[in-house]
Chain A
């Protein structure tokens, strides 16, 4: 895959030109220190090393500038006759051919490798971004699946305990769907089921069993219902009330959180 910005791998700003200038000066100083030892041998080597290092760290333009400046300095200071420009002999020609040739080949190779490296880094960043997006989508999918499972569990619960259902209450009626909508079938199929507008607004739907519950207990559980076991009074005979164990369960569905109270089937 072609990434045209791969050619922009080098750092930006004036700092790289400062580094390039410093490298040139250091190369010139080192070659000057070695000059008594080396004489006219390898006049451009220090500048070639400087140009390659600058290419690796700072990019093509500073490297080319170091190479050209290095060629001029090497020819002027380290090729006999030293410190003169007016004489161009075989030594000058050797330097002008060999030094740029070798430096350009090495700098070009380094430039190509750096571009390939930067391209690989960019593509790796894309791959990493996609992987993280995939993980976030997977997380959303799992959350949705969990919510769907919970909804199925609640609907199954309503259908299974239709006859013993006392009430369904939305934990937060402002953000939840009307609980009566889930119990509609159950309520209409049940003799005493109630779904009216006022209860819809309060987030409560009564099941068929509610008519047998003592009025005080019904008001109590309608107001303050928490998950767990409850004991409420059920009508037994004409005017006799007997305590019955009831179970309240909480369901966190995509349509909101609901509490369902039913008479315990065991009793």
Chain B
């Protein structure tokens, strides 16, 4: 199944570059892209050669270069450009944000720096070593239930699509070992670069993520160098949070964060006012905690 790259028309001065998960397609971010476009953001969800499904394998340095090129193309047209990624796409976004500190905001959905969720088999670490054996060209890591979805109806639909086409709107049926190896290298690179990321950062993660445990989000939260950082935890989703039960919450919080980030930038004077006393109190509490 060849997924098309899709972009919305230019609607204002804020564009969002959306990067899908490893060996997947832009389809998995379709709902989020549509909501962001409705909210007035220009969105661009590219296919990245060597990273997206249906393209030949390449090294992770080329993934980062291609994503940076997409970012630069948007930066030439729009005042603000933000990054939003899902799973390994979030890790790729973090690498781009490190390369391009001008990124307005960084939205990390189910960020994956380690494959350590509850559905990952205990022998997963052996794959890192198996890459250096002759089986690397033959072995494919097969996706299994629950396919990152807590929503059972959607899961059944995805299972049928995977059996039929080898790929679905939430990702591929299997991932080649070289791609997994490059993803591990990318995750290792980003773990070391987190302190150098200064863009506003929103982390959204499900506590029962079956692919990347909450340690991933906590690691980013503890180490990222962003001054404006927000973490949102979900309890009714698995890994594919933009498609699962809480997709509306995810999309709404992404749009809200992008608006707040743009409003808080130096060039803008229309920051969202805080009129709720309860919110003002909560923000003071958080500022006190952050100051300690």
Any chain A CB within 8 A of the CB of B156? no
Instruction: Specify which of B117, B233, B249 is in contact with A125 (CB 8 Å cutoff).
Output: B233
Residues facing A in B80-101 (CB within 8 A) are none
Report the separation of the CA atoms of residues A166 and B117 in the bound assembly, to the nearest whole angstrom: 68
If A122-B207, A129-B232, A133-B232 touch, whether A7 touches B279 (CB-CB below 8 Å) is no
Whether B118 and A7, one on each chain, are in contact in the complex, defined by CB atoms closer than 8 angstroms, is yes
B104-137 contact mask (Cβ, 8 Å, vs A): 1 or 0: 0000000000101110000000000000000000
Whether B249 and A133, one on each chain, are in contact in the complex, defined by CB atoms closer than 8 angstroms, is yes
- Size of the chain B interface, CB-CB below 8 angstroms: 27
Report the separation of the CA atoms of residues A143 and B280 in the bound assembly, to the nearest whole angstrom: 14
Report the separation of the CA atoms of residues A143 and B235 in the bound assembly, to the nearest whole angstrom: 29
Instruction: Specify which of B235, B249, B275 is in contact with A142 (CB 8 Å cutoff).
Output: B275
Residues facing A in B24-49 (CB within 8 A) are none
Instruction: Specify which of B114, B118, B282 is in contact with A135 (CB 8 Å cutoff).
Output: B282
Any chain A CB within 8 A of the CB of B61? no
Report the separation of the CA atoms of residues A141 and B135 in the bound assembly, to the nearest whole angstrom: 58
Whether A129 and B116, one on each chain, are in contact in the complex, defined by CB atoms closer than 8 angstroms, is no
Instruction: Specify which of B231, B233, B256 is in contact with A136 (CB 8 Å cutoff).
Output: B256
Report the separation of the CA atoms of residues A143 and B118 in the bound assembly, to the nearest whole angstrom: 42
Any chain A CB within 8 A of the CB of B244? no
Whether A122 and B275, one on each chain, are in contact in the complex, defined by CB atoms closer than 8 angstroms, is no
Which residues in A have their C-beta under 8 angstroms from that of B118? 4-5, 7-8
If A123-B207, A138-B279, A139-B274 touch, whether A12 touches B116 (CB-CB below 8 Å) is yes
If A7-B118, A12-B215 touch, whether A126 touches B278 (CB-CB below 8 Å) is no
- Size of the chain A interface, CB-CB below 8 angstroms: 24
Any chain B CB within 8 A of the CB of A3? yes
Any chain B CB within 8 A of the CB of A156? no
Taking the nearest CB of chain A, how far is it from the CB of B234, in angstroms?
7
Instruction: Specify which of A3, A123, A132, A142 is in contact with B282 (CB 8 Å cutoff).
Output: A132
Whether A143 and B275, one on each chain, are in contact in the complex, defined by CB atoms closer than 8 angstroms, is yes
Taking the nearest CB of chain B, how far is it from the CB of A4, in angstroms?
4
What are 23 A-B pairs at a CB distance below 8 A? A4-B118, A4-B210, A5-B213, A7-B118, A8-B116, A8-B118, A8-B215, A11-B215, A122-B233, A123-B207, A125-B207, A125-B231, A129-B231, A129-B233, A132-B282, A135-B279, A136-B256, A138-B278, A139-B274, A139-B276, A142-B276, A143-B272, A146-B275
Any chain A CB within 8 A of the CB of B209? yes
Residues facing B in A143-201 (CB within 8 A) are 143, 146
> What's the dominant secondary structure at chain A's contact region?
helix
Whether A133 and B253, one on each chain, are in contact in the complex, defined by CB atoms closer than 8 angstroms, is yes
Report the separation of the CA atoms of residues A223 and B279 in the bound assembly, to the nearest whole angstrom: 40
Any chain B CB within 8 A of the CB of A1? yes
Whether A136 and B279, one on each chain, are in contact in the complex, defined by CB atoms closer than 8 angstroms, is yes
Any chain A CB within 8 A of the CB of B200? no
Residues facing A in B194-234 (CB within 8 A) are 207-210, 213-215, 231-234
- 6 closest residue pairs by CB, A with B: A139-B276, A4-B118, A122-B207, A135-B279, A125-B233, A126-B235
Which residues in B have their C-beta under 8 angstroms from that of A125? 207, 214, 231, 233
Whether B282 and A138, one on each chain, are in contact in the complex, defined by CB atoms closer than 8 angstroms, is no
Which residues in B have their C-beta under 8 angstroms from that of A8? 116-118, 213-215
Any chain A CB within 8 A of the CB of B273? yes
Which residues in A have their C-beta under 8 angstroms from that of B234? 126, 129
Report the separation of the CA atoms of residues A126 and B231 in the bound assembly, to the nearest whole angstrom: 10
Q: Which residue of B lies closest to A128 (CB)?
A: B233
Q: Which residue of B lies closest to A118 (CB)?
A: B214
Which residues in B have their C-beta under 8 angstroms from that of A146? 275
Give the residue among A12, A129, A143 with the most B Cβ atoms within 10 A.
Answer: A129
Which residues in B have their C-beta under 8 angstroms from that of A3? 207-208, 235
If A126-B234, A126-B235, A129-B231 touch, whether A5 touches B208 (CB-CB below 8 Å) is yes
Give the residue among B116, B209, B213 with the most A Cβ atoms within 10 A.
Answer: B213
Taking the nearest CB of chain A, how far is it from the CB of B155, in angstroms?
15
Taking the nearest CB of chain A, how far is it from the CB of B207, in angstroms?
4
A1-41 contact mask (Cβ, 8 Å, vs B): 1 or 0: 10111011001100000000000000000000000000000
Taking the nearest CB of chain B, how far is it from the CB of A146, in angstroms?
7
A1-B235, A122-B214, A143-B272 are known; give 5 further A-B pairs, CB within 8 A.
A7-B118, A12-B114, A128-B233, A132-B232, A139-B272
Taking the nearest CB of chain B, how far is it from the CB of A52, in angstroms?
23
Q: Which residue of A lies closest to B113 (CB)?
A: A12
Report the separation of the CA atoms of residues A119 and B214 in the bound assembly, to the nearest whole angstrom: 11
Taking the nearest CB of chain B, how far is it from the CB of A125, in angstroms?
4
Taking the nearest CB of chain A, how far is it from the CB of B147, in angstroms?
15
Give the residue among A3, A123, A139 with the most B Cβ atoms within 10 A.
Answer: A139
Report the separation of the CA atoms of residues A8 and B119 in the bound assembly, to the nearest whole angstrom: 11
Taking the nearest CB of chain B, how far is it from the CB of A28, in angstroms?
28
Whether B278 and A5, one on each chain, are in contact in the complex, defined by CB atoms closer than 8 angstroms, is no
Report the separation of the CA atoms of residues A121 and B274 in the bound assembly, to the nearest whole angstrom: 29
Taking the nearest CB of chain B, how far is it from the CB of A3, in angstroms?
6
